[in-house]
Amino acid sequence: MQKGKIGVSSDNLFPIIKKFLYSDHDIFLREIVSNAVDATQKLKTLAGRGETSVSVEHAKVRVSLDTDKKTITVSDNGIGMTADEIEKYINQIAFSGANEFLEKYESDANAIIGHFGLGFYSSFMVSNKVEIVTKSYKDGAEAVKWSCDGSPEYSIEEAERAEVGTDIIMYINEDSKEFLEKERLSGILNKYCKFLPVPVVFGKETEWKDGKQVETDKDNQINETNPAWTKAPVDLKDEDYASFYRKLYPMGDEPLFNIHLNVDYPFNLTGILYFPKLKNSIEVQKNKIQLYSNQVFVTDSVEGIVPEFLTLLHGVIDSPDIPLNVSRSYLQSDSNVKKISSHITKKVADRLHQLFKDSRADFEKKWDDLKIFIEYGMLTDDKFAERAMNFFLFKNTEGKYFTFEEYEKLIKENQTNKDNNLVYLYTSNLEEQYTFVQTAKDKGYDVLIMDDVLATPLLNKFEQQHSDKRFVRVDSDVVENLIQKEDEKDELSWDEKEELSPVFQAVCPEANGVNYLVDFKNLGESGQPIVITRNEFMRRMKDMGQLQGGMNFYGDLPESLNLVVNTAHPLVQKVLDSKDKKLGKAFETIKEDLNAKKQERDALEKAKEGKKDEEVPAAEKEKLEDLGKSIAELEKQKREKLTDFGKKNKLTKQLVDLALLANGMLKGEALDQFVRRSVELIK
């Protein structure tokens, strides 16, 4: 027996491996099994070239569990190792290059760990002792046994092994005894080894017999050695892609379509990506892509590794250029990984474009399910956004689809405003905004449906990119103002507006955190008497605030709505007439009084102009002050009278309620009162 010290200059590395190497201790099995697979494939290659006569036909990797001895053993029929090779590959190589690095980052275990793939040595995370019993394929090679108890000392001695290959025997430590459970172990194998290219066997297959599960004598192979992504696309039918999807996500809905990635330059990359049917909520759908390196599972939390929006896709990406046993942060900063991810983005965009060109009808059919994904991509990845302009679709209220270009042509004639801006009208909810949509259509406008969570940020982006385009929701203003074709003429004077506004303000609902701003507009005799609109800017700011969550200035503002009174409507006219009648002489007197006082004040102010303060006589100053007070008082009286009138006037209330009703905002007690009042008015 020969003893030696593992080639590390520092004695500290072993404790580091044991404690921190990976936060997921279960990857030890991946490392040991994939070494066994590598060794088997190497021997197959040699056999293929006729360089060995050792049979590889039935080569398998066998994982076995001995709960009495507390060992996990991974055995293979691979190339094996000679004593010299153990010295070279196990004792020395594992830490070559590590020394220098260790000196530099002595205190930072994470940096060390993230940088080095310590494949074989990860077994010490879970073991007190590890043994290698191996026999090389080389002619005349003797079997050897290497043993190490976790200190840098090891021993090596002669051993018995009938066949060429290697056993790795891990004596599982007390802290890791969970791995001695059969269920746990098969769970780990299923996670990391499901698609390894060499058969991996764990225990025996079971079957139901006499009402219970019993073991058969057939080996239980846990992996599929030729998963779909390793095959050529020509050899796969739609059904093959579908069944592979079910294998990956047994609970998933059928995907919309797939992309088979097959790249060998400038790096090696294979994989199949699926477009799932996306629901409106994005968060729950992330992180379904699985990353593999030579069919060895690396991770399925791909955030930071592939572009944000691609995390919505499902499927498999496999590249030998994806480093296997390194930390997440290292993976994220790896330049190969970055190249891979931008390449995938391009492929995805190309594929979508191609689908669009090949079968537009089919593409349109899938659009509603696809759009969240595409919109998300456009919002988070400028390169993708550029490409997506080829196939991004608008959908209008008639259910017709248009590309950006097509739609521009459609509305150019009719929806260009006086400032030469193209105005895109949209609704976020066809049901709720039905009246507005209808009014806009009656005017010959086209209305888009933009009803998903990403609509608002997307519109903002479009507007940023195209300064001559505006997106306006149909309920953001009265139809006359949605697309202003000529300068607005103010129909009511300031004084008239001031006098009318308290009448309607008086009957606006007060509660539930909504502010109403009364405005007046000539909407024609056949227009609605009152229209409620919501300011586009404020609404979008609120939308964005909600999307971002948390504290947000706009998000926290009360909602503010415009109550637009149609001055041309006969019923509004009726309110105005009855106001004059009802308030009568007394009101007139207040107004006259007010006017006289205002005139007096203005005259005094005028006389004061250009004079220094001390030049103005004290009596005059006093007079001005008095005037100010009585004007305020009169105005108050006037407002009170108007408010009082508005409150008592049933028609005013009725008109406002009708507008609220049309917007689905009349509820509860208010609705009940409205119904009663209506009945009364009809009687």
Residue 76 interface partner, choices ligand ADP, Mg ion, none, CB cut-off 5-8 Å depending on type: ligand ADP
97 a known binding residue? Answer: yes
CA atoms of 124 and 27, how far apart (whole Å): 11
> Do residues 272 and 347 make contact, with C-beta atoms less than 8 angstroms apart?
no
Beta bridge partners of residue 62, listed in sequence order: 75, 201
Q: Which is nearer to Mg ion, 91 or 421 (CB)?
A: 91
The region of 33-41, 153-161, 249-257, 438-446 touching Mg ion under the rule CB under 5 A is 33-41
**Sequence-ordered list of residues with C-beta below 8 angstroms from that of 584, at least 6 positions apart, any chain:** none
The two beta strands, 212-221 and 200-209, are antiparallel
Minimum CB distance to Mg ion, residue 185 (Å):
19
> Do residues 377 and 384 make contact, with C-beta atoms less than 8 angstroms apart?
yes
Residue 269 interface partner, choices ligand ADP, Mg ion, none, CB cut-off 5-8 Å depending on type: none
The region of 32-40, 52-60, 64-72, 90-98 touching Mg ion under the rule CB under 5 A is 32-40
Residue 166 interface partner, choices Mg ion, ligand ADP, none, CB cut-off 5-8 Å depending on type: ligand ADP
Tell me, rounded to whole angstroms, the distance of Cα 411 from its chain centroid. 32
Minimum CB distance to ligand ADP, residue 424 (Å):
56
**Sequence-ordered list of residues with C-beta below 8 angstroms from that of 481, at least 6 positions apart, any chain:** 488, 521
End-to-end alpha carbon distance in the chain: 112
Minimum CB distance to Mg ion, residue 378 (Å):
41
Is residue 654 part of the contact set for Mg ion (CB under 5 A)?
A: no
Q: Give the three-class secondary structure for 21.
A: coil
Residue 90 interface partner, choices Mg ion, ligand ADP, none, CB cut-off 5-8 Å depending on type: ligand ADP
DSSP per position, 28-86: HHHHHHHHHHHHHHHHHHHHHTTS-----TT--EEEEEETTTTEEEEEE-S----HHHI
Q: Which is nearer to Mg ion, 168 or 478 (CB)?
A: 168
> Do residues 61 and 162 make contact, with C-beta atoms less than 8 angstroms apart?
no
DSSP per position, 248-280: H-TTPPPPSEEEEEEE-SSS-EEEEEEEPPP-S
Neighbours of 31 (CB within 10 A): 25
676 a known binding residue? Answer: no
81 a known binding residue? Answer: yes
**Sequence-ordered list of residues with C-beta below 8 angstroms from that of 100, at least 6 positions apart, any chain:** none
Q: Which residue has the tokens 């992309």?
A: 259
CA atoms of 144 and 80, how far apart (whole Å): 10
Residue 198 interface partner, choices ligand ADP, Mg ion, none, CB cut-off 5-8 Å depending on type: none
> Do residues 519 and 488 make contact, with C-beta atoms less than 8 angstroms apart?
no
452 a known binding residue? Answer: no
Q: Which is nearer to ligand ADP, 296 or 312 (CB)?
A: 296
Is residue 78 part of the contact set for Mg ion (CB under 5 A)?
A: no
Cα–Cα nearest to 40, from 172, 225, 189, 218: 225
512 a known binding residue? Answer: no
Minimum CB distance to ligand ADP, residue 188 (Å):
17
CA atoms of 402 and 367, how far apart (whole Å): 11
The region of 114-122, 240-248, 443-451, 548-556 touching Mg ion under the rule CB under 5 A is 114-122
Given CA atoms 349, 350, 353, 358 in this order, what sign does their dihedral have?
negative
Is residue 315 part of the contact set for Mg ion (CB under 5 A)?
A: no
Minimum CB distance to ligand ADP, residue 73 (Å):
11
Minimum CB distance to ligand ADP, residue 16 (Å):
15
The region of 29-37, 59-67, 523-531, 653-661 touching Mg ion under the rule CB under 5 A is 29-37
Residue nearest to Mg ion (CB): 119
Beta bridge partners of residue 448, listed in sequence order: 396, 426
Residue 502 interface partner, choices Mg ion, ligand ADP, none, CB cut-off 5-8 Å depending on type: none
Minimum CB distance to ligand ADP, residue 242 (Å):
35
Q: What is the 3-state secondary structure (H, E, C) of 548-595?
A: HCCCCHHHHCCEEEEEEEECCCHHHHHHHHHHHHHHHHHHHHHHHHHH
Is residue 649 part of the contact set for Mg ion (CB under 5 A)?
A: no
Minimum CB distance to ligand ADP, residue 358 (Å):
43
The region of 34-42, 133-141, 296-304, 518-526 touching Mg ion under the rule CB under 5 A is 34-42
**Sequence-ordered list of residues with C-beta below 8 angstroms from that of 322, at least 6 positions apart, any chain:** 291, 292, 293, 298, 331, 334, 336, 337, 340
Residue 83 interface partner, choices ligand ADP, Mg ion, none, CB cut-off 5-8 Å depending on type: none
589 a known binding residue? Answer: no
Give helix then strand counts, H and E, for the chain. 22, 22
Is residue 41 part of the contact set for Mg ion (CB under 5 A)?
A: no
Q: Which is nearer to Mg ion, 311 or 327 (CB)?
A: 327
342 a known binding residue? Answer: no
Query: Quick one: which of 78, 80, 114, 119 contacts Mg ion (CB under 5 A)?
Result: 119
**Sequence-ordered list of residues with C-beta below 8 angstroms from that of 655, at least 6 positions apart, any chain:** 529, 530, 571, 572, 575
Binding mask 225-244 for Mg ion (x = CB under 5 A): --------------------
Q: Which is nearer to ligand ADP, 39 or 482 (CB)?
A: 39
49 a known binding residue? Answer: no
Residue nearest to ligand ADP (CB): 119
Minimum CB distance to Mg ion, residue 120 (Å):
6
Q: Which is nearer to ligand ADP, 117 or 233 (CB)?
A: 117
549: left (phi over 0), alpha (psi -120 to 50) or beta: left
Minimum CB distance to ligand ADP, residue 291 (Å):
17
Applying CB under 6 A, which residues contact ligand ADP? 31, 35-36, 39, 76, 78-81, 89-90, 94, 117, 119-120, 166
Minimum CB distance to ligand ADP, residue 42 (Å):
8
Cα–Cα nearest to 76, from 113, 41, 50: 41
Residue 4 interface partner, choices Mg ion, ligand ADP, none, CB cut-off 5-8 Å depending on type: none
Query: Quick one: which of 35, 122, 136, 299 contacts Mg ion (CB under 5 A)?
Result: 35
Minimum CB distance to ligand ADP, residue 376 (Å):
37
* Binding residue ranges for ATP: 31, 35, 76, 81, 96-97, 166, 328
Q: Which residues bind Mg ion (CB under 5 A)?
A: 35, 119
* Binding residue ranges: 31, 35, 76, 81, 96-97, 166, 328
